[in-house]
Homo-oligomer: A and B are copies of this chain.
């Protein structure tokens, strides 16, 4: 089975052929090394005040990169579609002002140049994981790419999508697990953490986890983030908003600043103690 998954991947990041993990540089931050990386920020960039406030807050709580959507993929055409170029500029400025490299999604081949100019890490969203025209275009850019797993993508399809980027020249790929489609309506998606461990076994590429989209439920984001780090993820990407209840998108799953600080404590909490066997004599 694993051989079947492995055979077509780029040799450079195939764990059979190299022992070295891929460490990807995003601005001055490294992803894939020993230190875990937390990316945080609002689902959508909504205004200068909002994105600057979020950048300052997440940095102060320990995040080292800033996220924010400018071009938003929304299920319905009548939902808020993002600020576009304006959002890109605001995100860039907030990142530079706080010293945080920025990540944002590109949805169109025609926006690749402008997004590449403004962003330090270019996100391919889950819905576009197999938008091969977009992947081929991103294979030529000088910036790293964050490749989210599609909600119905197998691990093999996910790694093959990364191949589209790498075969054409861009080996600066960071993978992101964000929940797969499952049958239980209790949560938005099914967080597939075992696949994170599997991918790290098959490939040298860094993998981060998005507990916000994966659970879609505020109270589960910190525990899920902690489990992601425990299983070996190289980092997290978390949605944080000054006033989640007023957010123009994903209101249900964004954390406020206090909740994000709590998350940063949760993921650092020591591992617990274990019960000891009962003495046979006394047992």
A interface residue numbers (CB < 8 A to B) = 1-2, 5, 8, 27-30, 34-38, 59, 62-64, 73-78, 97-100, 107-111, 127-128, 130-134, 150-152, 154-157, 160, 163-164, 167-168, 180-187, 190-195, 197-198, 201, 214-215, 217, 219-220, 223-224, 226-232, 235, 267-280, 283
- Of the A-B pairs whose beta carbons lie under 8 Å apart in the complex, a sample of 25, sorted by A's number, is A1-B185, A8-B76, A8-B78, A29-B275, A29-B278, A35-B275, A37-B275, A64-B277, A75-B156, A76-B163, A99-B278, A107-B132, A108-B133, A109-B133, A131-B131, A131-B134, A156-B186, A191-B194, A194-B220, A197-B224, A198-B217, A201-B220, A223-B230, A223-B231, A270-B270
Q: Which of A2, A64, A191 has the most CB of B within 10 A?
A: A191
Q: Which of B192, B198, B271 contacts A267 (CB 8 A)?
A: B271
- Tell me which residues across on chain B come within 8 A of A197, comparing CB atoms: 220, 223-224
- Asked whether A277 and B63 contact (CB < 8 A) given A186-B154, A223-B231, the answer is yes
